[in-house]
Amino acid sequence: MLHVFHSNRLEELAEELAATLARPVAGPLAPEIVVVQNQAMGRWVALTLACRFGVCANLKTPFPAAFVWDAMRDVLGDLPTTSPFAPDVLTWRVMQWLGEHRHDDAFRELAHYLADGDDEKRYQLAERIAATFDQYLVYRPDWIRAWEGGEGTHWQARLWRDLTRVSRAHWVRLLDRQRAALEGGDAARALPPRVSLFALPSLSPGYLDVIRGLAGVIEVHLFLLNPCREHWGEIVSEREAGRRAGGRKPETLYLESGNPLLASLGSHARDFMDMVQELNGTQRERFVDPGEDTLLHCLQHDVLTLADRGAAPTPLAPDDGSLQVHVCHSAMREIEVLHDRLLGLFADRPALRPSDVVVMTPDIDAYAPYIEAVFATGPAERRIPFAIAERSPLAESLLVETFFALLELPDTRFDANRVLALLEAPAVQRRFGLTEDDLELIEEWVRATGIRWGIDGAARARLGLPATDGHTWRAGLARLLLGYALPTGERALFEGVLPYDDIEGSQAQALGKLHAFLDALFALDALRDARRDVARWGEVLGDLLTRFFEPQDADEEAMRVLREAIGGFVGTAAHAQYREDVPLDLVRAGLRRALSAEAVRLRGLAGGVTFCGMAPFRTVPFEVVCLVGMNDGSFPRPHRPLGFDLMAKDRRRGDRSRRDEDRYLFLEALLSARHCLYVSYTGRSIRDNSLIPPSVLVSELLDYLRQGFGSDTRERVVTEHPLQAFSQRYFRAGGALYSYSAELAEASRLCLRERAPPPPFAGQALAETEPAPPRVELEELVRFLRNPARYLLRRRLGLQLDEGDAPLETREPFALERPWELRERLLAMTLEGRSGEAPALLAARGDLPHGNPGRALLDQEQERIAGLARRIEALHPAGREDVWVDLALGERQLSGWLRGVTGAGLYAYRPVEEAGAHDRLTLWVHHLALDAVRPGSESLFVARNEVLRLRPVAEPRAVLAALLDLFHTGQRRPLPFFPRTSLAFVDPGGRDPRAAARAQWEGERYGNGNGYAGEGRQPYYALAFRGIEPLDDEFERVARAVYGPMREHEVRG
């Protein structure tokens, strides 16, 4: 017997379901079957029944397709657990058939697409064909019967006949067998005595035939969520009326429109309700009128009563906030606005709880980062508990994302960034015993050894590229391992490898773990061109999970999902008896498909605001229903039927239409809101503030409001929000906009103030560094003078303003990337008489581009260096030594080593055009120290275009003491000394000293577009001298104190 119960409220359906289940019809251990549309509804039903009865046990909530197949298995008894015509199984069967018949003349329509033999394309096509055939089974059983009877000559009919030669165990044929078996009487004993179908938005005509057959032998209860208590099977929207009228006037057809909103949005359910009426079951109903006290309730009342307010608009209450539409500039702003509006609702209605709110969006994965950024942060008093339901495992789990990154790696270049990104997954770190400190060290090694991409030269050759080992992982790893085992100071090659020496102590353990990780990773390269049967691929995937991941409790869910997806992927291929070997790219595609079909742990309904996609909770009643992301083109979701979909060319009543389903889903969400419906969309461009239209559904809703409630309704319902969350409009008394953020309120107040110059960084001097007279290292003094502000901020205050390491390079060099470093190495080797070793040594270091370009660039640099080397050797006195300096200068001590001291004095050189400010400063300080211990010494600095001499200083200790005074001062406050700018002031080259200094500080731009950046733009100077004039009287005094004596003793040759 079929019993149909109608209501517009899910709560009423649940109450009637509970009353039905309270009446036992079988033994106490027999399960109750309640067929539901999705997992969310199943959970809601179970929770509701548990609240009603105190406990809910032995309840099964299958989906319609699974229920129909199980019912057939119960009656017929000889069917497998999964149908061979289930879409995932049928995909493999179709793929097998495509591989065997793609060259047949009868299938020329498919031959072009499959001509390149790409297995992944064949799998994707098979998947689409299987999905289309599944729709034929459900919605076109007459076609299926005709094709199996020999009718039809097109390729789809021939393909279907080939598929059914192996088995006809699809539900169209099984329905005939089931009907016959049920008429016999005995088969009904295997069925459950009672089945309930709860709040299903639609069923295909074929499924309704199954229900009709079952209702003849068991109790079938159909609980329908019906939005309207009147008969609305004949109402049509204006658009549909125009389509039916053709060239005639629609009014001549005498079509009923009823409620325009229901007519426009409800066509999907209208046909289903009509088909249910034809089942001839007992009909009962319990409708609840929401009344007309708010705008939202008026809309729901109109739909319930099939009313059209027409030309007599209903006035709105001034404070009616039951329906809100918010226009924002971005998805992030939508979530920020939503957070404030929810706080406002909770403040206005103390009884409202976060669990009374659902937020639905067409793309939950796109909005999830913004949700977490807004709802998971902020002070505790503004924190709203929330849960994001039904997120894709790929978007939610770093472990799953990393697993797919491993599967994609064989088809990549194994570039440094991609490989190191794998180590960011904690489960991978645990498997190989690595720590965060190890990862920093490994990145430093990768950078230092020049690793860019590629496993080795052989792997590059497989990509059709030159088989060079330079900048590959194996080349870098060889340098690291050899450097630990055989350190050479990076001065000599061993079997063509330059050892990397900077590995010591416990770092060797990290190196061993890196080696193990890379060995496991390199083994994946064999999968690039591998072809295996699906079962063997299942073993490979399981081995990858074990080899690369060590999960903890937080990872177990992700591991379960992956293992079940792998099992499902392998199991469906086995069930389809698929025989061909397949490549890795098809495995990835199939596994992604299996993962997307995997049941995801449902969150929500657990005490917080529920965020989800549009489908899961669309009919579940909530006090507040929020729809965000209602953008044009996002919802209804765009859908283009496949070119070979025959149903698209022959529409029938009851056919699925994604667009119509989405339109009805919008109506269901509107009707499920009990207190407030909240809608938001990105309606303004973040670039130029231009208007962006909303979803057509939002536009239709606003049009209905305008027609039924007055032309000013839009202005009262729609709220336009500013671009910034700290806009002053949010903090005006009595305004329509508001915010609960004290931080944003302060930011808004700051925007109102006149922009004042930033306060000086150093308002007063710091305390003394230590009470006793300090000992200063010679190189510390040099380092200080090269940038006093940086020395103060980093050493005393711990401020690190320099940019971090640049991103790792993933391409081999095609030019000299750090030419100054290469020139210094090249000069040193030339002076040591080792210039012949330079090509091999520098190439092994990774300093040169590969092949002929690298050799050509090296030849150019060697030619440049050769002249400088000859000059250095010509001027170089015999003998060099290192001299220890330990000077007592008043209350301070200055000590350190002087390198490169000859019998004639200090001798220095660099491969630069001429000595710069830093070179001259360094030479001057070293020269003073040498003169202090060896009076009468001279110093020499050789560059490509000049030779700089420093004559002996009469009182070097006094000059050094003055520099130490400046060093002491610079430990307590910023010292206005800037090497380039101060030198320009003392040595202006014929210009006005102050003008020359200003040019160096601020930089200059010439008419041809060239120029140089000012020294004042360096971050440490900019911060230390913020808000004050750096080039003041003290600047001039310090410049003279440092550079004055130096200039007096310099002689250029």
**Domain identity same for 794 and 934:** yes
Domain tally for the chain? 5
Q: Mark whether 586 and 607 lie in a shared domain.
A: no
Where a domain ends, among 557, 577, 597? 597
Instruction: Give the CATH number of the domain where residue 467 resides.
Output: 1.10.486.10
Average pLDDT taken over every residue of the chain: 88
* Same domain assignment for residues 362 and 438: no
Residue 1041 lies in a domain: yes
Name the pairing type of β-strands 905-909 and 892-902: antiparallel
Same domain, 481 and 586: yes
**Each residue of 245-271: pLDDT tens digit?**
444 555 544 446 689 999 999 988 988
Q: Looking at the predicted structure, is the pLDDT value of residue 239 above 70?
A: no
pLDDT at 1008 over 50: no
* Separation in Å, CA 533 to CA 97, 528, 795: 16, 15, 63
d(C-alpha 567, C-alpha 88), whole Å:
13
- Under a CB-based contact definition with an 8 Å cutoff, are residues 668 and 618 in contact? yes
Residue-wise pLDDT tens digits, 71-112? 988 888 888 888 899 999 999 999 999 888 877 777 777 777
Q: Which residues contact 236 (CB under 8 A, 6 or more apart)?
A: 244, 255, 256, 257, 263, 267
Residues 6 or more apart whose Cβ sits within 8 Å of residue 13: 5, 7, 198, 199, 223, 224, 225
Q: What's the pLDDT band for 1007 if we cut at 50, 70, 90?
A: very low
**Which residues contact residue 523 at a Cβ distance below 8 angstroms, ignoring those fewer than 6 apart?**
none
Q: Name the least confident of 26-40, 478-492, 1029-1043.
A: 478-492
- Residue at 679 is within a domain: yes
316 in a structural domain: no
Residues 6+ apart with CB under 8 A from 208: 275, 276, 279
**CATH value at residue 49:** 3.40.50.10930
What lies within 8 Å, CB to CB, of 640 at 6+ separation is none
The pLDDT score that the predictor gives to residue 621 is: 95
**Between the CA of residue 862 and those of 297, 455, 841, 946, what are the distances in Å?**
85, 31, 14, 19
In a domain, 496, yes or no: yes
Same domain, 674 and 528: no
Backbone angles phi, psi at 490, to 5 degrees: 55, 40
Same domain, 454 and 583: yes
Q: Quick one: tokens of 919?
A: 């070179």
* Residue 577 domain flag: yes
Contact status, residue 976 vs residue 1001, Cβ threshold 8 Å: no
Are 280 and 327 contained in the same domain? Answer: no
Separation between Cα atoms, residue 673 and residue 295, nearest integer Å: 12
Residues 592, 701: one domain?
no
Q: What domain range includes position 438?
A: 394-597
Q: How far apart are CA 384 and CA 371, in angstroms?
A: 11
Q: Residue 572: which pLDDT band, with cuts at 50, 70 and 90?
A: very high
Give residue 503's identity as a one-letter amino acid code.
I
Which element (helix H / strand E) includes 388?
strand 386-388
Identify the pLDDT of residue 604. Answer: 55
The DSSP string of 487-522 is: --TT-S-BTTB-------TTHHHHHHHHHHHHHHHH
- Of 294, 388, 384, 376, the residue nearest 342 (C-alpha): 384
Quick: pLDDT tens for 162-197.
999 988 888 888 888 888 888 876 777 888 999 999
**Residue 869 maps to a domain:** no
Whole-angstrom Cα distance, residue 273 to residue 267?
10
Range with the lowest mean pLDDT among 119-128, 314-323, 1022-1031? 314-323
Q: What's the DSSP call for residue 317?
A: P
Q: Are residues 205 and 218 in the same domain?
A: yes
Residue pair 8/288 in contact (Cβ under 8 Å)? The answer is yes
- 996 close to 985: Cβ distance less than 8 angstroms: yes
Instruction: Confirm if 17 and 196 have CB atoms less than 8 A apart.
Output: yes
Token pair 């130029």: residue: 688
Prior bond to 636 cis, omega within 30? yes
Sign of CA dihedral 500, 505, 508, 513: negative
758 occurs within a structural domain: no
List the beta strands (DSSP E) in 137-253.
194-198, 219-225
User: Does residue 772 carry a pLDDT above 60?
Assistant: no
Among 20-24, 239-243, 393-397, 998-1002, which stretch is predicted with the lowest mean pLDDT?
239-243
d(CA 238, CA 250): 8
551, 576, 597 - which closes a domain: 597
pLDDT reported for residue 183: 80
DSSP letter assigned to residue 631: B
Q: How confident is the model at residue 554 (pLDDT cuts 50, 70, 90)?
A: confident
Q: What is the CATH number of the domain that holds 163?
A: 1.10.10.160
Say yes or no: 330 and 381 in one domain: yes
Q: Which pLDDT tens digit goes with each residue over 602-614?
A: 555 667 999 999 9
Which tokens is 424 given?
């960011």
CATH number for position 711:
3.40.50.300
Same domain, 195 and 340: no
Classify 200 as helix, strand or coil. Answer: coil
Asked if residue 898 belongs to a domain, the reply is yes
The half-sphere exposure of 1015 on its side-chain side, counting CA atoms within 13 A, is: 25
pLDDT over threshold 60, residue 1009: no
Task: Indicate if 501 and 638 belong to the same structural domain.
Answer: no
